[in-house]
Amino acid sequence: AAKKPKVIVTRKLPDPVETRMRELFDTELNVDDRPMSPEDLVDAMGRCDVLVPTITDRLDSRILSRAGERLKLIANFGAGVDNIDVATANQRGLIVTNTPGVLTEDTADLTMSLIMAATRRVVEGANVVQSGDFHGWSPTWMLGRRLWGKRLGIIGMGRIGQALARRGKAFGLSIHYHNRKPVSPRVAEELEATYWESLDQMLARMDIVSINCPHTPATYHLLSARRLKLLQPHAVVVNTARGEVIDEGALANMLARGEIAGAGLDVYEHEPAINPKLLKLPNVVLLPHMGSATVEGRIDMGEKVIVNIKTFMDGHRPPDRVIPSML
Ligand code: 8YV
């Protein structure tokens, strides 16, 4: 039998995924789940055929330039590949794959949860009760904003954006989106979605804005201080994509001054650090990057990683190869 490829996994993965990986490959697991230091990464890259990193591993051009001859495939556990300099990897003959498709619905669910939590004050209300401060109902107490009939503006109409649009439609929201190009007429019709070529114009008209695009050099601070100022005072911003797409400091300042109504954030610009101003605000819901965090989703992601490795090792193009022109 052919020698099994050496695969190094940088973080603890779900048990069934690790079991399967051990059956198929010569797998080195990270049993204690400590994030790897850059030196650990360089060491790992020198000793394996396949590296399975996650968002907590930064594979920038400097680190990649120290990769060994043996490494052939970087099979990212995650859809977003902004942790990897894909162009540099490819120049060095390294193939990069990701895990798209399997976390679409889970991430859209969490986005919807943030929209509902931020507009209907769900977390604030729960905290009132749990801290023993519910002293009785009142007609004017804990009022949020109605969701039905409002405008949802989606920035990035890929798989997750479209899955969010379906949910939004079911909740009675009208669907608007900004994307590099319009979706197909069939999808636009199904979602009754309005395309805004101008992000600025869309922002000025929305009640809720959701970030669902990848973080690339082109989307860094797409919601800049200038663009955030275009939002209406009652607008709510949610982000389950990447923190870098919003100028977090500018957002925190606007929320603190009441210039926009609220925010629901699952991702941060300097993760896991969070702008301290955000932590003190009552009108924000903050989650710890858990968009794809379901038992089923993480197993599906692991299975995608396995299929990518196996296909590559069998000499074929892995199904989820990422190339720079896709980004
Ligand atoms: C993960 C994600 O939490 O897939 C992504 O892009 O952000 C999440 O699914 C993380 O990236 C895993 O590496």
Instruction: Dump pLDDT digits (tens) for 269-280.
Output: 999 999 999 999
The number of the ligand 1 atom at minimal distance from the alpha carbon of 103 is 9
Task: Output the CA 276–ligand 1 centroid distance in Å.
Answer: 24
- Among protein residues, the one with the nearest Cα to ligand 1's atom 6 is 80
Average pLDDT of span 165-190: 98
Average pLDDT of span 199-216: 98
The number of the ligand 1 atom at minimal distance from the alpha carbon of 78 is 4
Average pLDDT of span 160-172: 98
pLDDT surpasses 70 at 1: no
% of the chain at pLDDT higher than 90: 97
pLDDT surpasses 90 at 326: no
Radius of gyration, CA atoms only, the chain: 21
CATH code, domain with 312: 3.40.50.720
Looking at the fold, whether 97 and 116 belong to one and the same domain comes out as: no
Alpha-carbon distance 86 to 84, whole Å? 6
Looking at the fold, whether 128 and 66 belong to one and the same domain comes out as: no
**The model's pTM:** 0.97
pLDDT surpasses 70 at 258: yes
Domain-embedded: residue 279:
yes
Q: Which two tokens stand for residue 281?
A: 């605000």
Helices marked H in the chain: 15-24, 38-45, 61-64, 86-91, 104-120, 122-130, 159-170, 185-191, 199-203, 225-228, 248-256, 276-279, 295-313
Looking at the fold, whether 145 and 23 belong to one and the same domain comes out as: no
Looking at the fold, whether 255 and 211 belong to one and the same domain comes out as: yes
What's the domain count of the chain?
2
Looking at the fold, whether 319 and 304 belong to one and the same domain comes out as: yes
- Which residue is it, tokens 């955000």? 278
Instruction: For 20, list phi and psi in degrees, rounded to 5.
Output: -65, -40
First to last CA, the chain: 38
Provide the pLDDT for residue 325. 86
Provide the pLDDT for residue 102. 98
Q: What average pLDDT does the chain have?
A: 97
pLDDT surpasses 90 at 151: yes
pLDDT in tens, 20-58: 999 999 999 998 999 999 999 999 999 999 999 999 999
Domain-embedded: residue 89:
yes
Which range marks the domain in which residue 54 is found? 6-102+294-326
pLDDT surpasses 80 at 2: no
- Pocket mutation for ligand 1, best pick of 55, 212, 245, 299 (most atoms within 8 Å of C-beta): 55
- Among protein residues, the one with the nearest Cα to ligand 1's atom 3 is 292
Neighbouring C-beta atoms of residue 277, cutoff 10 Å: 15
Task: Output the CA 55–ligand 1 centroid distance in Å.
Answer: 6
Domain-embedded: residue 263:
yes
- Which residue is it, tokens 């949860």? 113
Taken in order 81, 30, 64, 220, is the CA torsion positive or negative?
positive
Domain-embedded: residue 1:
no
Query: 82 and 242 in contact (C-beta within 8 Å)?
Result: yes
pLDDT in tens, 103-125: 999 999 999 999 999 999 999 99
- Among protein residues, the one with the nearest Cα to ligand 1's atom 11 is 78
Looking at the fold, whether 193 and 267 belong to one and the same domain comes out as: yes
Average pLDDT of span 68-74: 95
